[in-house]
Amino acid sequence: MAIDILGPLPISVNNNRYLMVVQDYFSKWTEAIPIPDTEAVTVANKFLERIVTIFGVPLSIHSD
């Protein structure tokens, strides 16, 4: 699984400024998740909420 942060972008109506892009290497399934900042706690919470709760815990995560 790969994860990257895109932005800063113009602020959305929900006060989000970045996109957290997550892709499964095997299936190529991609999620673009809006987030307000790039703080570690924000990224971790959104990852748990939007990825782990739906797909389970990945064996590995690649980020640059």
- Confidence band for 64, pLDDT divided at 50, 70 and 90: confident
Mean pLDDT of the 19-43 span: 97
DSSP state string for 1-64: -EEEEE------TTS--EEEEEE-TTT--EEEEEES---HHHHHHHHIIIIIHHH---S--EE-
Q: What is the CATH number of domain 2-56?
A: 3.30.420.10
Looking at every residue in the chain, the average pLDDT score rounds to 96
- Domain regions of the chain by residue span: 2-56
User: Each residue of 45-56: pLDDT tens digit?
Assistant: 999 999 999 999
Mean pLDDT of the 29-41 span: 97
Mean pLDDT of the 38-51 span: 97
